[in-house]
């Protein structure tokens, strides 16, 4: 059965192009279009689409307010389109916090010059969130289940999260986080749950373009008690500091004596992810930082699996966000299916769990 899509944008050209890119695939059915947020709210109630593509900046009612009203009245997976400006990035994060589940840059030049590539990416994103539906973290009426241990620490016996964490040694030197689709909201919730004096350094790799990582780090720094910055080459890792890998770059971790530092390298054209979780995790393993707690959050694909494998071989602890609270259970599923996950944890349990083992 085809996924029903409502296309929302004040540009008739963009509405038409998005509709054409999706309707060219039998998996999708365009059930309607809207030119502003108010019309989007009305048509969502009327047409009950499976997925909505939504512009941020529109007349009458903008995309952020439309997302809020839709999530209150008729919760539906929403994919946002926004400009690659810093302002566009901030607005996108506001929309994600309001309930949207994913976003794509709105780039008219790419649509003109890289039509097939953009169409393929759009179809993949819409299909993924349409099949998945809304995660439990965006459905307040549902109760999130307690996390379950899935690796050696849990012994495969269904121990509770608290019992499983009791067996985890409190000697970690570093927390490393990898995420993609749904990651911005998940990372924000986790970091907001940590105190200013959190005793471990944190490094984060989120699949995101350059203008977005800069704005995302600034947003997190405003909202969180701990310090959050976009990483720069030579940064030293220290307690209470979370460093975000810049978009378009690869972030490596190096060790000099007992101190840890960031080394940034330009991403190459053949690398699929810029930044890439596998590359950062592998660098931590290569640096000999065995006492690492690595975490794979919501995201599409399998980035992080091989990096987690390398870290696991060096004695690291691996956590994965659970399926119920993941927007896309791709990256966490990949590490769990590979038998690398020590604990699979609901999003709301992760910050408290970090405090237990730090």
Q: Which residues are catalytic?
A: 180, 207, 303
Q: How far is CA 319 from the centre of its chain?
A: 15
231 touches 203 (CB < 8 A): yes
Which sign, positive or negative, has the C-alpha torsion 110, 212, 183, 234? positive
Q: What span, in angstroms and rounded, lies between the C-alpha atoms of 358 and 356?
A: 6
304 touches 281 (CB < 8 A): yes
Q: Return the ∠ at Cα 22 (arms to 18 and 25), rounded to 5°.
A: 160
Residue 68 bridge partners (DSSP)? none
22: phi then psi, degrees, rounded to nearest 5 = -85, -40
Q: Exposed, middle or buried: residue 318 (CB in 10 Å: 0-12, 13-18, 19+)? A: buried
- Using the 8-state DSSP alphabet, how is residue 286 labeled? H
Q: What span, in angstroms and rounded, lies between the C-alpha atoms of 162 and 329?
A: 23
Which residues, 6 or more positions from 159, have their beta carbon under 8 angstroms from its beta carbon?
148, 149
Closest CA to 206 of 95, 295, 124, 107: 295
């Amino acid at each position: 059965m085809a996924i029903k899509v409502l296309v929302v944008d004040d540009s008739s050209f963009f509405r038409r192009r998005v509709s054409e890119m999706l309707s060219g695939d039998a998996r999708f059915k365009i059930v309607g279009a809207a030119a502003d947020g108010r019309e989007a709210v009305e048509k969502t109630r009327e047409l009950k689409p499976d997925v909505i593509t939504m512009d941020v900046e529109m007349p009458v009612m903008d995309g952020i307010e439309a997302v809020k009203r839709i999530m209150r009245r008729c919760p539906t997976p929403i994919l946002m389109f926004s400009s690659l400006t810093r302002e566009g990035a901030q607005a996108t994060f506001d929309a994600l916090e309001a309930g949207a589940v994913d976003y794509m840059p709105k780039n008219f030049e790419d649509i003109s010059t890289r039509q097939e590539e953009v169409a393929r990416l759009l179809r993949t994103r819409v299909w993924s969130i349409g099949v998945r539906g809304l995660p439990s973290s965006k459905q307040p009426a549902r109760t999130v289940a307690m996390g379950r241990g899935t690796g050696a620490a849990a012994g495969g016996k269904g121990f509770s999260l608290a019992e499983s964490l009791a067996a985890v040694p409190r000697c970690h030197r570093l927390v490393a986080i990898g995420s993609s689709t749904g990651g911005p909201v998940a990372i924000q919730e986790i970091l907001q749950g940590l105190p200013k004096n959190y005793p471990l350094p944190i490094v984060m790799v989120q699949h995101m373009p350059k203008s977005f990582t800069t704005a995302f780090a600034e947003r997190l720094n405003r909202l969180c008690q701990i310090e959050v910055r976009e990483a720069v080459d030579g940064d030293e890792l220290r307690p209470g500091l979370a460093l975000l890998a810049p978009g378009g770059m690869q972030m490596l971790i190096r060790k000099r004596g007992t101190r840890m530092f960031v080394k940034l390298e330009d991403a190459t054209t053949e690398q699929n992810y810029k930044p890439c979780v596998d590359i950062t995790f592998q660098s931590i393993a290569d640096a000999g930082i065995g006492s690492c707690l690595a975490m794979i959050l919501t995201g599409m694909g399998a980035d992080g699996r091989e990096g987690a494998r390398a870290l696991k071989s060096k004695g690291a602890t691996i956590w994965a966000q659970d399926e119920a609270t993941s927007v896309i259970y791709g990256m966490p599923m990949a590490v769990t299916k590979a038998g690398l996950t020590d604990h699979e944890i609901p999003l709301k349990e992760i910050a408290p769990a970090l405090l237990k083992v730090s």
